[in-house]
Amino acid sequence: MGVLLQALLGPVRWAALAHPVNIVLLAVLLACIGVMYALRRRVYLFEWMMHYGAAVPALVYALGLTLVMGLTLQDVHGMPWLGQMLRFWPFALSWGWVVLISGLAALNHLLRWRWGEIPFVLNHLGVFVAVVAATLGSADKQELRMRAYEGTPEWRAVTTSSALAEPGFSLTLQDFVREDYPDGTPRRYASDVVIYTADGGQIAGTVEVNHPLKVGAWRIYQQDYDKLAGEYSIFSLVRDPWLPWVYAGILMMLLGALCLMLFMAPRPVVEAEAASVAETESVAEAEAEAEAEAEAEAEARKDRREVL
């Protein structure tokens, strides 16, 4: 089905899911999960989707495509399908199927609540939150590129399609710092900047590789610099309002796995312990019966001697 959609409709257009479309789709998704759960006794498919027989193959297939994506060069102008995995319909549908399964499983564990359900709720709900936020929220992610010259305020940036955009603040490059190894290759480079926000605020900070500066909903990364004179820096501005939800989902999965390891004994161990206890009890019962028989036989012998 995914390959057919890829051939008929072309790549997935995530940009079409920008706010408020993604909010509407999320509401529809939650409503569908609720209806599917309510009809689980009447529709075998919905009941089956809440069991491991559905979850494990779906997750293996989705992770397999994700592994292919990691091993394949991903480029907008790369291979039409495998080289653009995020826009590949089978990839999108596989994770959509995982979302439905994890949502149903999370709802099932929540509604039959017991303390022992906590790890399963965290695992399934974590998968649901992380994948939904990463997919539906991808259209709301903004990436801009800004070139700032030393001592000159800059408030303009360009999008990935080279269109002009304004992030809502201005940036002034105060100083550019570069430290080199003895052979002349750069060891560290950073930019001291001052940010002027729309409400009149002022933020001073340093932007360094892998150490972005946070300004409101934006994160400012050091992307490049003037390698000849060091007169300007090139910054990458990223705004991703759904990213905290992705982190929240990942954290729930980690906590769920931790709870499973700490508080939930593996089923084979539990079964082995139960079998050992049952065997011990049966041995004790047999010994008690043997002692009772021996005592009864001794009493019978005593009675016969008294009669004689």
pLDDT at 176: 93
**Do residues 90 and 191 both lie within one domain?**
no
**Do residues 6 and 109 both lie within one domain?**
yes
User: pLDDT tens, 234-271?
Assistant: 999 999 999 999 999 999 999 999 998 887 655 554 45
**Do residues 15 and 109 both lie within one domain?**
yes
pLDDT at 263: 77
Indicate the average pLDDT of the chain.
Answer: 87
Residue 23 lies in a domain: yes
**Do residues 126 and 146 both lie within one domain?**
no
Percentage, residues of the chain above pLDDT 70:
87
**Do residues 163 and 294 both lie within one domain?**
no
Residue 99 lies in a domain: yes
- Please compute the mean of the pLDDT values over residues 23-35 and round it to a whole number: 97
Residue 302 lies in a domain: yes
**Do residues 196 and 51 both lie within one domain?**
no
**Do residues 129 and 146 both lie within one domain?**
no
Q: Which domain holds residue 230?
A: 142-239
Residue 100 lies in a domain: yes
Give how many domains the chain has, as a whole number. Answer: 3
User: 3-class secondary structure for the chain?
Assistant: CHHHHHHHHCCCCHHHHCCCHHHHHHHHHHHHHHHHHHCCCCCHHHHHCCCHHHHHHHHHHHHHHHHHHHHCCCCCCCCCCHHHHHHCHHHHHHHHHHHHHHHHHHHHHHHCCCHHHHHHHHHHHHHHHHHHHHHHCHHHCEEEEEEEEECCEECCEEECCCCEECCCEEEEEEEEEEEECCCCCEEEEEEEEEEEECCCCEEEEEEECCECEEECCEEEEEEEECCCCCCEEEEEEEECCCHHHHHHHHHHHHHHHHHHHHHCCCHHHHHHHHHHHHHHHHHHHHHHHHHHHHHHHHHHHHHHHHHC
**Do residues 118 and 158 both lie within one domain?**
no
**Do residues 126 and 147 both lie within one domain?**
no
**Do residues 21 and 40 both lie within one domain?**
yes
Global pTM value: 0.76
